[in-house]
Structure 1
Amino acid sequence: MYMAIFGVFASSWFGWAQEKPKENWRKYLGIASAFSLLVGLLGIYLSVTNWHRPSALSEAATFKNYLIFVYIEFFVAGIGAFLLIKNKRKDYVAPWVAFIVGIHFIWLKSIFQDSSLYLLAALLVAVSIISVFLSKKLNVANSAFTGIGAGIVLFCFAILGFIRFILA
């Protein structure tokens, strides 16, 4: 499932990065988005064909806690995005969403019993903060650098999921 989720979301972030990047980045962002999506689709296939295997979300209480964290994440990210757009700061929506996504992985560590989610959280939070400064320096939308950074991080975790699947 890591491969499926992180691959598909990496593709989404690379897609968001295409909002206003440097012109010569577009081809590479498209390739990264497509490749991430293929990795995600392979992850979906592997997940479906191994559906019978137990997972961290097999227990009802754990699944309930997972849903609570995800709903909170969507709510907080959505409210923040709405307020940023309303206050004519839409260029900060991508870093805001990446920040909230990063923070939510801290909470999900206990759900999935996976300490590597702390690293994922730290990397996404770092991308969200650094992107605001680098985007100005490179004269691109915040979403360009945020999307590239988040896409790369999530793609790496999709590959980590594949490695864990092979080694299991």
Structure 2
Amino acid sequence: MLRDHLMSAAIFGLFSFVWFGWAQETLPDQWRWPVAIASVIGALLAAFSGYLSYQHWHSATALTAQTNYRWYLIFVLGEFILAGGGAAILLKTQQSIYVAPWISLVVGSHFIALQFIFHDPSLYWLAALMIIVSLLGLFWPTPAKSALVGVNNGIILLAFSLFNLGRFLWY
């Protein structure tokens, strides 16, 4: 649905900005400018798509159905609890290097559930890509796990933001 494409573009643009920002924690110096530019593009996409979403607020959305909206809230709340709880445990056990891959794994997995609400098969691709990035972050032997996960997730979400904006513009 058109509004869902716009909201997805806005949300994915915003979270590409967030992941690029998180990557700054352990980012090599030579990556700073390209990541900063990509981050600004994500923020601009979020703002533009958010504005368009506001302009089309009364368009159809999968969340109009009360059951879909309820499940959406359950999935998002569950995601926050699982991500936050896991991150707290990792911090408490001095394993903070694994927080970014953990959050990525939870976020990536939640797109599988959201596909059942939005009936958008592209969410399976998004989930798969983010889960792969999470596994790389967990098992790739690098101390810069937040850079690895942050840059890759930033790129993936930026691409999906553009994809969803394109789907809106196509109609």
Q: Shorter-normalised TM-score: what interval?
A: over 0.9
Q: Which amino acid aligns with 1:145?
A: L
**CA deviation string 1:79-102 (max 9, x = no partner):** 000000000000100000000001
1:45 aligns with one of 51, 57, 70: 51
Q: Flag as ranges the 4+ runs of structure 1 deviating above 3 A.
A: 132-135
Q: Which amino acid aligns with 1:17?
A: A
Q: 1:57-96 alignment to 2 at 5 Å?
A: 57-96=63-102
Gap regions ≥5 residues in structure 2: 1-6
Give 2:127's aligned residue: 121
Q: Which amino acid aligns with 1:79?
A: G
Q: Which amino acid aligns with 2:95?
A: R
Partners of 1:36 and 1:133 lie apart in 2 by 28
Q: What percentage of residue pairs aligned between the two structures are identical? A: 44
- Residues matched between the structures, number: 165
Partners of 2:151 and 2:139 lie apart in 1 by 14
Give 1:159's aligned residue: 162
Give 1:99's aligned residue: 105
1:14 aligns with one of 10, 14, 20: 20
Indicate the RMSD between aligned Cα atoms, in angstroms: 1.0
**CA deviation string 1:115-146 (max 9, x = no partner):** 1111100000000111234461xxx5211010
1:142 aligns with one of 115, 124, 145: 145
Partners of 1:49 and 1:161 lie apart in 2 by 16
Partners of 2:33 and 2:95 lie apart in 1 by 27
Partners of 1:160 and 1:135 lie apart in 2 by 32
Partners of 1:102 and 1:148 lie apart in 2 by 15
Offset of residue 22 of structure 1: 0.8
Q: Which amino acid aligns with 2:18?
A: S
Give the structure-2-normalised TM-score: 0.93
Q: Which amino acid aligns with 1:154?
A: L
Q: Which amino acid aligns with 2:63?
A: L
Partners of 1:142 and 1:20 lie apart in 2 by 8
Question: Structure 1 residues 78-87 or 123-132, which shifts more?
Answer: 123-132
Partners of 2:62 and 2:160 lie apart in 1 by 17
